[in-house]
Amino acid sequence: MRVDLFDFDLPPERIALAPATPRDAARLLHVRGQALVDRVIKDLPSLLRPGDLLVANDTKVIPAQLFGERPARDAHQGGGEPVSIEATLHKDLGADCWRAFVRPAKRVREGDVIHFGDALSAEVVARDGAEAALKFDTGGQNFFAALDSAGVMPLPPYIARKRPADETDKSHYQTMFADEAGSVAAPTAGLHFTPELVAALKENGVNQMTITLHVGAGTFLPVTAEDTADHKMHSEWGEITEAQADAINKTRRDGGRIIAIGTTSLRLLESAAAEDGTINPFAAETDIFITPGYRFKAVDMLMTNFHLPRSTLFMLVSAFAGTGAMKAAYAHAIDKEYRFYSYGDACLLERAS
């Protein structure tokens, strides 16, 4: 399938650089086939039914962007001056080792040690192009404490190009569900939820639960291939416990709908689903790539933000609600000045088939 089928023009002023305040005051475009209704996030309880189940992602964004220095090498190692290094962690390899994008990659090599301030250092144990495997000198929970001190939130490139991350992003770029540390990007649909909205949903009989998918590098990488068949998705680790799977399956048996809060929740649910829609316990990597023609097995509705042109996420929502419907919805959102991307507004999609 040609990637240019998922292209559209987006005025740069439609990119949100900060979230709505309060979070549930953001706008919500309800998409039911060709029907488009402008609402706000606070309307969500009235759009769902008692017995429905909201499934959110409880991953926690880590301050994965690090700025450090590679000291000057000894003369017999090539000498030279110290070099400033930027590293963005994107995958936990275990044993205190992380895969990272590094810049300038050509100035680091296996055996180098990079100091990220006083709290954190790492040895380069492998390098492959623009990526490196970094083994840190601090492990376990001490690692995350040191990372909180040394790192900054890895804002998406389309925000980071316009402003640097600041202290407010440590709370703004984190959902109220965040509990399991490990993501380098927020599951952004969850950013719209507040305790008041959650309480209103509960009062209306809408059930809620969380599962875990650690969002990785693929969320930032553009699709450079001309055909979707040539695009390789990065894998991400996710988990659905047996108790969670049982609760989801009970909802379906009782006639309730499964509403995924964000594409990350949807991708994990579909990865864990059998052909008949039954959710199985899951604890593994997934690189599921959903494009039009995919048959959805587990998810009935999807709440998600507005995504990049030519992105895997716009392909996913086109598969879910129909390519024509999504192009019309995005044209409507641009015309009505909805706010796009991570800190922007959202849409509530009903599955096309």
Q: In the chain, what are the domain boundaries?
A: 3-61+169-350, 65-150
pLDDT tens track for 223-235: 889 999 999 888 8
pLDDT tens track for 75-100: 556 667 899 999 999 889 989 999 99
pLDDT tens track for 243-274: 999 999 999 999 999 999 999 999 999 999 99
Q: What does the pLDDT read at residue 141?
A: 80
Q: What does the pLDDT read at residue 79?
A: 62
Q: What does pTM read for this prediction? A: 0.92
Residue 222 has pLDDT above 80, yes or no: no
* List of residues 6+ apart from 118 with CB closer than 8 A: none
pLDDT tens track for 20-60: 999 999 999 999 999 999 999 999 999 999 999 999 999 99
Domain 3-61+169-350 and domain 65-150, same fold? Reply is: no
The pLDDT of 317-327, averaged and rounded, is 97
Q: What does the pLDDT read at residue 29?
A: 98
Residue 5 has pLDDT above 90, yes or no: yes
Considering only the top CATH level, what class is 3-61+169-350?
alpha beta
163 falls in which pLDDT band (50, 70, 90)? confident
The second-level CATH assignment, the architecture, of 65-150 is Beta Barrel (2.40)
Percent pLDDT > 90 in the chain is 82
The pLDDT of 284-309, averaged and rounded, is 96
Q: What does the pLDDT read at residue 76?
A: 58
Q: What does the pLDDT read at residue 162?
A: 83
How many Cα neighbours within 13 Å face the side chain of 62? 24
